[in-house]
A and B are shown apart, each in its own frame.
Chain A
Amino acid sequence: MSDMKLEQDQKQTPSENAPKMRRDLSPSEAVHEKDWSDHKGILIVVEQRGGIAKKVSWQLLGEGRRLADKLQTHLSALVIGSNVSGLAKEAIYRGADNVYLCDSVELENYRTRPYSKVCLAVIREYKPEIVLLGATYTGRDLAGAIATHLPTGLTADCTQLDVDENRLLLASRPAFSEKMLATILCKQYKPQMATARSGVFLALPLDPTRQGDIITIPSQMTEGEIVTQVLDFLEQTDHVSLEDQEIIVAGGRGLGGPEGFVMLQEFADALGGVVGASRAAVDAGWIGHDHQVGQTGSTVRSKLYFAIGISGAVQHVVGMQNADMIVAVNRDPQAPIFKVAHLGIVGDLFTLVPALTEAIRAQKRNSGSVPVAL
């Protein structure tokens, strides 16, 4: 407690105190000789906002289940927040063998220090061999802090995970602007840590017959000790999280301007989907960056993906090539997008999109299927 006080006083008068480096936060020779065999199991840190879990957390539990079975070890989840005991149950239904639950008012909003302290307490006490988090803004913020404190190796933004016969985590991620994949190992430190992208792994279906222990973890900081304050959250209706969408209608430079996206939105509405975009359209200011698909945007795995007026540059394709069904509309028969599309239409999008919108509407009326609620 008195240490904490000191730390705060120091913060209020930065001009009188030089920063003191935390020299313990690094690997050292000694660690290499360490016997890590007491580290067992896989831990998934579940991310939530307002009591709703991010889909990537359930996807990681699905993948974590597969890895834990392969290693013949247990899968744990860590749920942190305020009023989140429901999520602890859900984590069990989604594949966890047990759950660490830290439920406290000051943990309502994510803040690095109190959250990382909870994670560190759990990791130090229960010694998992692998720790996985979603590669979301919050997940990356938290993972970077935890890995430095432990210290251990951390691989960012994985798109493939596996384990080998030596219980090493094979964490694979895109490198060099997605042109290559690299497998990263962390041999001499435990836990092995990684963040993984949303939309890459499959969540297990909810199984309410599954059972497991829920272990309560005390919060590690009181509100008075936390310097950072979340003042507000501005929900942005034009913020879309493309990673979780089933139907995406993406437009590119071929749309010619923001009006093109109005037409595209109508098409997306008819399908019950959301609008995505190429970088060219985003850079032109026709639509917000959150809609961008590709290397510097979202990686999507939708069931249906329309590419309208998009040439199919490699940086775009890496973000959408894993959609189940891809339909491309482009007036240029040589456009590379046709190499990844299942259905290709060569023609003018300005006549084709309205026709498609009408045809979809008619089909839905006839087949009586309502637009899927997402």
Chain B
Amino acid sequence: MHIVVCIKQVPDSREIRIDPNTNTLVRQGVPAIVNYYDLHGLEEALRFKDTVGARVTVISMGPPSAEKSLRQCIAMGADEAVLVSDRAFAGADTLATSYVVALTIEKVAQEFGIVDLVFCGKQTLDGDTGQVGPGVACRLDYDQLTYVEKVVALDEKNHTITVHRHLEDGVEVVQTKLPALITVLTELNKPRRASLPGVLKAAQYKPVVWSTNDFANIDRSKIGLKGSPTIVSKTWVPEPRKVNTEMIDGPSPEAIAADVTKRLWSSEAASRLGWA
């Protein structure tokens, strides 16, 4: 069993602030982290390493600095890590990204052994689309199981995997044949911390690095900005909605509650709700 985990190094968007004077993003000092959904994919792969001896290869397309994130995955227990890095990849949208990620998985399969399972995160913190996973699955002609919150069974003999897919109104139990691509939710598991041997291995570890020249059949019109149909035309900071807050006070909770109820019943919301 050979599992590929797709990870992306992202700016921790929780830390990004808007400069109120210029209305622009303040990226300075924003730490780069492994997209946290992807860590849950890695954890699930590592559990298969623990239970059935799966080999785990982590891949990422990104700048050279993403090596750090790949080493973090090695420290957690991944066997190998591949960084695909080239200026020509810059500006890729999800279509162009999924092309390069799929090419990488194809090459990983050729060089490190057949791939049975691919894990992607539900979405990235920066791209925030959840489209790369399905895109990669389509290109590799794998079946895709998205928004997985539980892996119920992996049957190595029959090459099937059974999972719980999370939907708005319930959970779907789905089975498909391997090879398959799975995108994961944080409910799936709790990512482990790095182990001491892992940290020691990671300190020495140099990920395999591939650039466009390492892909024999790469179509350069399909990568980076050129291969990306979508264009960001503008960004802006939305105006906060202006409301006139009425503060309600009174001698007792009961008095306040009565006042609030009265106002509710005479509000527009009440007539829309059919109360008044």
Q: Determine how close the nearest CB of chain A comes to the CB of B220; give it in whole angstroms.
A: 10
Confirm or deny: A124 has a beta carbon within 8 angstroms of a beta carbon on chain B: no
Interface size class of B (residues with CB under 8 A): 35 or more
For B143, give its contact among A137, A149, A180, A228 (CB under 8 Å): A228
Interface pair B131/A143, CB less than 8 Å apart: yes
Say yes or no: is B232 at the interface (Cβ < 8 Å to chain A). Answer: yes
Asked if B135 lies at the interface with its beta carbon under 8 angstroms from chain A, I say yes
Q: Does A220 contact B (CB under 8 A)?
A: no
Q: In the complex, what distance in Å separates the CA atom of A290 from the CA atom of B229? A: 33
Contacts of B212 in A (CB 8 A): none
Chain B nearest Cβ from A85, distance in angstroms: 23
Asked whether A261 is an interface residue with its Cβ less than 8 Å from the other chain, the reply is no
| B227 at the binding interface (Cβ < 8 Å) | yes
CB-CB < 8 A to B179: which residues of A? 11, 14, 19
B contact residues around A344 at 8 Å (CB): 245-248
Bound Cα distance from A28 to B137, whole angstroms: 20
Sort chain A's interface into a size bin: 35 or more
- Other-chain residue from A27, A140, A326, A339 in contact with B146 (beta carbon distance below 8 A): A140
Prevailing SS type, chain B contact patch:
mixed
Known contacts A183-B234, A303-B269: A152-B143 contact under CB 8 Å = no
- Is A7 interfacial (CB 8 A cutoff)? yes
B230 in contact (CB, < 8 A)? yes
Is the beta-carbon distance between B248 and A343 smaller than 8 angstroms?
A: yes
Please encode chain A, from 178 to 193, with 1 for each CB lying within 8 Å of some chain B CB and 0 for all others: 0111111111110000
Chain B residue at minimal CB-CB distance from A140: B130
The total of Cβ contacts below 8 Å across the A-B interface reads 309
A19, A180, A189: the one within 8 Å of B229 (CB): A189
Which chain B residue lies CB-closest to A315?
A: B14
A46 within 8 A of B: no
Interface residues of A in 350-374 (CB under 8 A from B): 351-352, 354-356, 358-360, 362-363, 367, 369, 372
Known: A179-B16, A234-B171, A356-B257. A342 touches B130 (CB 8 A): no
**A300–chain B nearest beta-carbon distance, Å:** 13
Contact status of A360 and B261, CB under 8 A, knowing A180-B237, A185-B230: yes
CA distance A112 to B125 in the complex (A): 25
A225 to B110, CA, bound (A): 27
A125 within 8 A of B: no
**From residue 309 to 351 of chain A, which have CB atoms closer than 8 A to chain B?**
321-322, 324-327, 338-348, 351
User: Chain A residues near B116 (CB, 8 Å)?
Assistant: 14-15
- The residue among B14, B94, B257 with the most chain A CB atoms within 10 A of its own CB is B257
Given A26-B227, A153-B229, A186-B230, A358 contacting B257 (CB threshold 8 A): yes
- Decide yes or no whether A155 CB sits under 8 A from chain B: yes
| B146 to chain A: closest residue by CB | A141
Report whether A22 and B141 are in contact in the complex, using a CB–CB cutoff of 8 Å. Answer: yes
B248 nearest CB across to chain A (Å): 5
Q: With the chains together, A113 CA to B134 CA distance in Å? A: 11
A345-B260 in contact (CB<8A)? yes
Q: Which of B64-72, B98-106, B191-199, B202-210 contacts A (4 or more CB under 8 A)?
A: B98-106
Q: Give the residues from 212 to 270 in chain B that come closer than 8 angstroms, CB to CB, to chain A.
A: 217, 219, 221-222, 227-238, 240-241, 243-249, 252-254, 256-258, 260-261, 263-265, 267-269
Residues of A within 8 A of B170 (CB): 233-236, 239
Q: Taking each of B167, B171, B178, B246, which has the highest tally of chain A beta carbons within 10 Å of its own beta carbon?
A: B167
A1: Cβ under 8 A from any B Cβ: no
Does chain A have a CB within 8 A of B13?
Answer: yes
Q: What residues of chain A lie closer than 8 Å to B166, measured between beta carbons? A: 137
> Which residue of A11, A22, A26, A367 contacts B219 across the interface (Cβ within 8 Å)?
A26
Known contacts A15-B114, A140-B130, A359-B254; is-contact A155 B230 (Cβ 8 Å)? yes
Chain B contacts to A: CB under 8 angstroms: 13-14, 16-18, 25, 93-96, 98-99, 102-103, 105-106, 109-110, 114-116, 125-126, 128-131, 133-135, 137-147, 159, 162, 164-179, 187, 217, 219, 221-222, 227-238, 240-241, 243-249, 252-254, 256-258, 260-261, 263-265, 267-269, 272-276
- 11 more contacts with CB within 8 A, not counting A176-B25, A177-B13, A355-B257, are A27-B221, A27-B227, A141-B134, A144-B135, A154-B94, A303-B272, A326-B243, A342-B243, A345-B256, A346-B247, A372-B274
Chain A interface (Cβ within 8 Å of chain B)? Answer: 7, 11-12, 14-23, 25-29, 49, 54, 109, 112-113, 136-138, 140-141, 143-145, 147-149, 151-157, 170, 174-177, 179-189, 227-236, 239, 241, 246-247, 289-290, 303-304, 321-322, 324-327, 338-348, 351-352, 354-356, 358-360, 362-363, 367, 369, 372
The 10 A-B pairs of least Cβ separation, nearest first, read: A144-B134, A153-B229, A325-B269, A156-B129, A153-B230, A359-B257, A355-B257, A355-B253, A232-B173, A26-B222
